[in-house]
Amino acid sequence: MRKLKYFSLGLMMLLLSNLAKAQLVIEITSGADQLLPLAVVPFAYDGKGALPADVAQIIENDLKRSGLFEAIPRTNMLSLPSKKEDVHFRDWRLLKSDYVVIGDIRQIDSESFEINFELINVLSQKTVEKHTGLAVKSSGLRDAAHYISDKIYQLLTGVRGAFNTRILYVTAEGDRAAPTYRLQVADADGHRPQVIVESEEPILSPSWSRNGRFITYVMFRDRRPNIFVQELATGKRQKIAQYKGLNGAPAWSPDGRQLALVLSKDGNPEIYIFDIATQKLQRVTNHYSIDTEPSWEPDGKGIVFTSDRGGNPQIYRVDINSKAVERVTFEGDLNTRARMTPDGRYLVTVQKNDGNYHIALQDMKNGRVQILTETYLDESPSIAPNGSMVMYATTHNGKGILAVVSVDGLVKYRLPSAAGEVREPAWSPFFE
């Protein structure tokens, strides 16, 4: 009996370690109407052994995932040039490729490489961009690929790329009645997941500091919610709120000095601002209704939040100086968990219409509202730092997964996990 128990224990741990490695896989479900065709030619490699990462493939996947590009399949390529003088423009014109990306990787020593790449316009035959001597460690090849993707994306769309960013999310795996919760961080494409915190009690509401060095999240301890701030690189963490009642929805201010959070210590849920340097609390809302889910405006002057003070939950804005409150959303049966695009132009919410919860986008200039998603039980929207995409949690085939939709609603892809439930995505800022 005892032996059996140990055996099954070992088996379980084996399974667990596999589950922890299970990463998110991208499934593109729809793209923009007009795709820009381009070819990312496999980079030539001068070195020993196989490269730990196919840089050109990562770039191609990044660009395809943006929903704006169509990649010429490698099997259709008539040649695999790595220098401009080897590019036969007629061939690429025949393949209807507007641009071609070429490059090569040279091994310096066992651990370091040097990458050169060039983006060429097929019609004008001119070089759009050329980079030489990009030095990387072998562990940094994926980062370099995302960096190159960002460059190409910016040159061809005029918008800064957000491929070289990361996401936080929470997984729940194992027995559904008593799962193991893991706060994880991964590349924006779901690769290289790492477990930050593991707990037998729920974890929710992760979010990033503006410089991407710190995170904050809610974790239950001894059946009560606590708010933590943690430095990603060192794992060093501080418990910043453990009051009676709710401790929730922490959100970093744009200047990185304060956190908005929700406490119900004074009776019912209110928005507070916690100053990190002084460790002092300032109350910003004062109403007997539910006030929760604070999110800062990009200029830091106001906070948008969810309140049911009007009868059902809608988004309101509080001015931090005057404490004046105004209602922001009017369409839909309810609106919750607002997030603003970095330019302050759009407000993303979870909107309920006829019993369905979808991600909605409200234009702050003209008030127009567009429903972006058609998935089921959508929640937790988080906006990419370049304002182009919204990652959110949804239910697909009865399972919690992450999905992405572009702010114009045209591009959609899913990031399901091989195992367990995935939820609460938080898109990182740019890493400078």
Partner 1 sequence: MSVNKLGKMAVIGLSAAWIAGCSTTATETDSSSVSEAEANNVAAESSAASANGSTGNAGDESFGANGNGDLSSVIVDGNGNVVSADTAAAAETAAANAKDMLVGVAHVFYFDFDKSIVRPEAREALAKHAKYLVANPDARVVLEGHADERGTREYNMALGERRAKAVSRYLTIQGVAAAQIETVSFGEEKPLEFGHNKQAWQANRRVEVRYE
Stretch that binds partner 1, among 108-116, 219-227, 321-329, 382-390 (CB under 8 A): 219-227
Cα(273)–Cα(253) distance, integer angstroms: 9
CB 386 within 8 A of CB 342: yes
Residue 85: CA atoms inside 13 Å, Cβ hemisphere, count? 0
Point out which span in 52-60, 176-184, 277-285, 314-322 binds partner 1 (CB under 8 A): 176-184
Pattern 364-403, partner 1, x by CB under 8 A: ------------xx-xx--------------x--x-----
Name the segment binding partner 1 (CB under 8 A); options: 99-107, 115-123, 146-154, 222-230: 222-230
Q: Please say which residue, 65 or 337, places its beta carbon nearer to partner 1.
A: 337
DSSP string, 131-193: EEEEEEEGGGHHHHHHHHHHHHHHHHHSS---SS-EEEEEEEES-TTSPEEEEEEEETTS-S-
Contact between 13 and partner 1 (CB under 8 A)? yes
269 is a site residue for partner 1 (CB under 8 A):
yes
The span from the CA of 186 to the CA of 191, in Å, is 6
Give yes or no for residue 12 binding partner 1 (CB under 8 A). Answer: yes
User: Least CB distance from residue 202 to partner 1, whole Å?
Assistant: 4
What's the closest the beta carbon of residue 246 comes to partner 1, in angstroms? 6
Pick from 98, 201, 319, 374 the residue near partner 1 by CB under 8 A. Answer: 201
| Tokens 């729920």 found at | 202
* Three-class SS state of 290: coil
Examine residue 199 and tell whether it contacts partner 1 (CB under 8 A): yes
User: Where does this chain touch partner 1 (CB under 8 A) — which range of 183-191, 197-205, 364-372, 407-415?
Assistant: 197-205
Closest CB to partner 1 among residues 114, 201: 201
- Which amino acid makes up residue 101? V
Q: Which of 176, 235, 279, 354: binder of partner 1 (CB under 8 A)?
A: 176
Question: How far apart, in whole angstroms, are the C-alpha atoms of residue 27 and residue 241?
Answer: 38
Q: Which of 67, 103, 206, 225 binds partner 1 (CB under 8 A)?
A: 225
Q: CA-based angle 142:146:149, to the nearest 5?
A: 140
d(CA 154, CA 172): 36
Kindly state the number of chain residues that form the binding site for partner 1, as judged by CB under 8 A. 52
Measure the CA–CA gap between 270 and 260, rounded to whole angstroms: 10
As beta bridge partners, residue 220 has 225
Which among 9-17, 23-31, 138-146, 365-373 is the span making contact with partner 1, rule CB under 8 A? 9-17
Decide if residue 198 touches partner 1 (CB under 8 A).
Answer: yes
Spatial contact of 311 and 328, defined as CB atoms under 8 Å apart: no
Residue 177 touching partner 1 (CB under 8 A): yes
Residue 353 C-beta: closest distance to partner 1, Å: 13
State the CB neighbour count (10 A cutoff) for residue 126.
9
What's the CA angle centered on 224, arms 219 and 229, to 5 degrees? 35
User: Closer CB to partner 1, residue 30 or residue 312?
Assistant: 312
Q: Least CB distance from residue 167 to partner 1, whole Å?
A: 17
Q: Give the C-alpha separation, 262 to 249, whole Å.
A: 6
Tokens representing 153 are 């994306």
Name the minimum Å distance from CB 322 to partner 1. Answer: 25
Cβ-based nearer residue to partner 1, 43 or 305? 305
Residues 6+ apart with CB under 8 A from 181: 170, 171, 172, 198, 199, 200, 201, 202, 203, 219
CB of 13 to partner 1, least distance (A): 6
Distances, alpha carbon 139 to alpha carbons 107, 112, 224, 392, 432, in Å? 13, 9, 39, 29, 19
Task: Give me the least distance between CB of 351 and partner 1, in Å please.
Answer: 11
Q: Which residues ranging from 292 to 351 are in contact with partner 1 (CB under 8 A)? A: 292-293, 306, 312-313, 334, 336-337, 350
Residue of 86, 200, 266, 343 that binds partner 1 (CB under 8 A):
200
Q: How far apart are CA 197 and CA 224, in angstroms?
A: 17
246 is a site residue for partner 1 (CB under 8 A): yes
Q: Which is nearer to partner 1, 163 or 252 (CB)?
A: 252
- Give the interface with partner 1 as residue ranges (CB under 8 A): 5, 9, 12-13, 16, 175-178, 197-202, 204-205, 220-225, 244-246, 248-249, 262, 264, 268-269, 290, 292-293, 306, 312-313, 334, 336-337, 350, 352, 357, 376-377, 379-380, 395, 398, 423-424
